[in-house]
Chains A and B, each alone.
Chain A
Amino acid sequence: MANFFSDNKDLQFHLQHPAMRKIVELKERGFAEKDLYDYAPQNFDDAMDSYRRVLEIAGEVCGEVIAPNAEGVDHEGPRVVNDHVEYASGTVQNMKAIVDAGLSGLTLPRKYDGLNFPLVCFVMANEMVARADAGFENIWGLQDCAETLNEFASEEIKQKFLPWVSAGATCAMDLTEPDAGSDLGAVMLKATWSEEKQTWLLNGVKRFITNGDGDVSLVLARTEEGTADARGLSMLVYDKRDGGVKVRRIENKLGIKGSPTCELVFTNAPAQLVGDRKMGLIKYVMSLMNAARLGIGAQSVGTCEAAYREALKYAHERAQFGKPIIRFAAISEMLSNMKAKLQGARALLYETTRFVEIYKQYTHISHERSLEAEERQEMKFYTRLADGFTPLVKLFSSEYANQLAYDAIQIHGGSGFMKDYPCERIYRDARIMNIYEGTSQLQVVAAINAVTKGTFMEQIERYAADTYSECMQPVVAKLKELTAKFAEMVERVESGDKEKPGFKDFHARRLVETAGHIIITYLLARQAGECEDYINSARIFVKLAEGKISEAYTYVMNSSFDDVDLFKAVEQEC
């Protein structure tokens, strides 16, 4: 019986983090619901026991249903039938298993039939689903849209939609259009208020919409006639049962083929306003995107896990020159690096998830009562960390998913290039992860403030002040050296940007990645103190970090201001 939770010690380790006590207390509001619902936890241990049991169910569904279906779904794909999406047969089976297992509405409050689980558990389930089938993760993971409704919508809308999501309704976020991709301020889909029908009516086209024919859609639309920028956009919720949206086509993609990417035509589709007008992009989409980025972080880590396991298995099985290829230094080095990156990305994923979780819970609590001064301060503290770490985890994990998928094929050799092994699907699926929900380049833009405003450095100093086990001392000493280099780089780039505008943008990625390498190494070093399984990965990752940071350091410190123009010269080419 394949179980993607029971077979993954690293995942189980992260569930045991000491911060879980605080997270569970916050999420359960001091176990206020223990006598109101027969499935609510009585105390911390009871809650943790329930999380483990439910994650084991999720692990079993992933291992026994979703993973075996992945190849068939990849081949069959979804179709458009009578203007609507028909999922591949394996996807239908996956959905049924998910609904039967009650794995919808994982984080939603119990009053909307949710499980009221912490985000950490959702991210873990997300990661396992992605390991089983990255494309299906999109369909399942989009239930996270309901969190945006839970945070910003009226009680009436919540009552209508949230229990439906808990019962298995699928979601979509309808943001992008043919002329509005990364630049969402250019969205043109029109929302007009109909006095006669007492509803908003949506008209226009959306493109590249994941699971576009989902039951519940959050639609970014222009409610303010005559505007052309972000300030005229609002968020609306559309109920598929009301009709008015046709699927014009499903994109033919390189990977995640089971996930229908739709072009949608809205014709007087009725919709309800979520929250306040004009706040659609500025507030709600930003919240949605942050959650989605964490989701892609989880999807990427799940993909890393799948790639690493496929590569490891093949390296043991395949013999050449009279021995399994894992016994060749070139292969074992690749696998060691893959494992360190996988565990490093996962460490960053759950560190970030905990930051997001704590500030989100304070946000919810602040809607119920006013926060104490100390709580307000804590909320601010974790919000700042979450804002910096979210793009960092999206950047690193999605790039690693691609690197690991690439290496997995390399280890398979010629066989990996054939359609016979899962690694070719993993490779195709991974390719979108550093593109959608904001490209890696945009994650750098989102994260660079955390470099220049000191968020990353302050957190690195907090990590440095922790105590580390004896065997991690050389790693920590190296990290201190690398941190000094990072400070030099930041100093040079910041002062340089004053003299030559564009100098910071030019080096932004090198700075963000340097911060990330240091942070990930600290996280692994900390874990190595608690569990010896991480000692090797910490030692290996610090080598990767040193190599990468030395390269970035050399580049930045030797870079003259002319470089900005040097790399702009290509603009004149045609």
Chain B
Amino acid sequence: MKNQLKIVVLAKQVPDTRNVGKDAMTPEGTVNRAALPAIFNPEDLNALEMALSLKDRVEGATVHILTMGPQRAADIIRDAMFRGADGGYLLSGREFAGSDTLATSYALSCALRKIGPDIIIAGRQAIDGDTAQVGPQVAEKLALPQVTYAEEIVEIKDASLVIKRRLSSGTEVVECPVPAVVTVNASAPECRPRNAKRVMKFKCALAGSEIAAAPDSEAARRAVAKPYLQIVEFAAADVDPDPQQLGLSGSPTKVKKIENVVFQAKEAKRLTAADEDINSLMVELIASHTLG
């Protein structure tokens, strides 16, 4: 593999839907974001680990994070830097609001054209949308080969990667030329922890709009003085997009209605351990496609 290998990890800041409490939904049936802490999307952390382990194996390789989101999404870029990433790019602006997967992958692909990475690694899917579409769509838009459900980079060759994929029925080993897009499964190794020295070194890393928001803060002064503390921030105009393909106008997905489904106790059914009861339950479950 070439020197100066440039790896970009696509990551998303998501509400922590794994720890859903009683107040996770508003009475109107929308997500109560205040009750759900914003976290690094779990499979994107697996992707980051894959990128960092590649960096460990290829001399001179660098790892950067690219995320699209509001200003506070810079938190996950910092988090990635604490874990070993060299830096990051924050793609942020009103134009991106309301993006579905198509508009998101379009925006990301515009930014990636600017960055010019050799390898793009992303988590399989985000826990808020569960679509698993953004990674593959980015690959299509950049006309790059893609390897999905990746679990391990088995071998690094001169111009290709040998990758193990985790499929529902087993594993598959494929070889893929680079540049390429790889999406990583949750079964891949977990991300290394944040490192003490890196946390102290990078805790004042800030994106441009964060510096502008509080230019007199100590953190901002430090970030301005030290280039390695500056997170690159792209506004829409910086990545030369077709405005029609961004945000709501670029998103064909329309949410028609959100329903809050609450199971009632009266739907419960009492069964005995008798064979006929179990038999009739099985028939019912198969008929309703819950089983089989």
Q: Can you list 30 A-B contacts with CB-CB less than 8 angstroms, sorted by A residue number?
A: A38-B226, A39-B197, A39-B200, A40-B200, A41-B200, A42-B222, A46-B218, A49-B203, A50-B200, A53-B199, A53-B200, A53-B203, A54-B196, A54-B199, A57-B193, A57-B196, A57-B199, A60-B193, A60-B194, A97-B193, A100-B192, A100-B195, A101-B192, A101-B194, A102-B195, A102-B196, A102-B198, A103-B196, A115-B197, A115-B200
Which of B193, B218, B222 is close to A100, meaning CB atoms less than 8 Å apart? B193
CB-based nearest B residue for A166:
B197
Chain B 214-237 per-residue mask, 1 if CB under 8 angstroms from chain A, else 0: 000010001000100000000000
CB-defined contacts of B2 to chain A, threshold 8 Å: none
Contact between A115 and B193, CB atoms less than 8 A apart: no
CB-defined contacts of B72 to chain A, threshold 8 Å: none
Q: Which residue numbers of A lie inside 8 Å of B, CB to CB? A: 38-42, 46, 49-50, 53-54, 57, 60-61, 65, 97, 100-103, 115
The B contact surface, by secondary structure, is helix
Q: A42-B218, A49-B203, A50-B203 are in contact. Are A57 and B197 (CB under 8 A)?
A: no
CB-based nearest B residue for A65:
B193
Closest CB of chain A to B234's CB: distance in Å? 26
CB-based nearest B residue for A55:
B196
CB-defined contacts of A42 to chain B, threshold 8 Å: 218, 222
Q: Does B201 contact A (CB under 8 A)?
A: yes
Q: Which residue numbers of B lie inside 8 Å of A, CB to CB? A: 192-201, 203, 218, 222, 226
The A contact surface, by secondary structure, is helix
Please report the C-alpha to C-alpha distance between residue A53 and residue B192 in the assembled complex, in whole angstroms: 16
Please report the C-alpha to C-alpha distance between residue A101 and residue B201 in the assembled complex, in whole angstroms: 14
Please report the C-alpha to C-alpha distance between residue A50 and residue B198 in the assembled complex, in whole angstroms: 11
Contact between B195 and A101, CB atoms less than 8 A apart: yes
Q: Known pairs A100-B192, A101-B194, A115-B196. 20 more at Cβ < 8 A? A: A38-B201, A39-B198, A39-B200, A40-B200, A41-B200, A42-B222, A50-B200, A53-B199, A53-B203, A54-B196, A54-B199, A57-B194, A57-B196, A57-B199, A100-B195, A101-B192, A102-B196, A103-B196, A115-B197, A115-B200
CB-based nearest B residue for A115:
B196
Contact between B196 and A101, CB atoms less than 8 A apart: yes
Please report the C-alpha to C-alpha distance between residue A176 and residue B203 in the assembled complex, in whole angstroms: 45
Closest CB of chain B to A62's CB: distance in Å? 11
Please report the C-alpha to C-alpha distance between residue A60 and residue B200 in the assembled complex, in whole angstroms: 17
Which of A38, A39, A41, A61 is close to B193, meaning CB atoms less than 8 Å apart? A61
Closest CB of chain B to A140's CB: distance in Å? 14
CB-defined contacts of A41 to chain B, threshold 8 Å: 200
Please report the C-alpha to C-alpha distance between residue A313 and residue B203 in the assembled complex, in whole angstroms: 36
Please report the C-alpha to C-alpha distance between residue A334 and residue B203 in the assembled complex, in whole angstroms: 43
Please report the C-alpha to C-alpha distance between residue A115 and residue B201 in the assembled complex, in whole angstroms: 11
Which of B197, B203, B218 is close to A102, meaning CB atoms less than 8 Å apart? B197
Contact between A39 and B201, CB atoms less than 8 A apart: yes
Closest CB of chain A to B195's CB: distance in Å? 4
CB-defined contacts of B197 to chain A, threshold 8 Å: 39, 102, 115
Which of B192, B200, B222, B226 is close to A54, meaning CB atoms less than 8 Å apart? B200
Please report the C-alpha to C-alpha distance between residue A42 and residue B200 in the assembled complex, in whole angstroms: 11
Closest CB of chain B to A63's CB: distance in Å? 11
CB-defined contacts of B222 to chain A, threshold 8 Å: 42
Closest CB of chain A to B226's CB: distance in Å? 8
Contact between A101 and B203, CB atoms less than 8 A apart: no
Please report the C-alpha to C-alpha distance between residue A81 and residue B192 in the assembled complex, in whole angstroms: 29
CB-based nearest B residue for A38:
B201
Closest CB of chain B to A15's CB: distance in Å? 16
Please report the C-alpha to C-alpha distance between residue A60 and residue B192 in the assembled complex, in whole angstroms: 12
**Nearest 3 interchain pairs by C-beta:** A39-B200, A102-B196, A101-B193
Please report the C-alpha to C-alpha distance between residue A57 and residue B222 in the assembled complex, in whole angstroms: 23
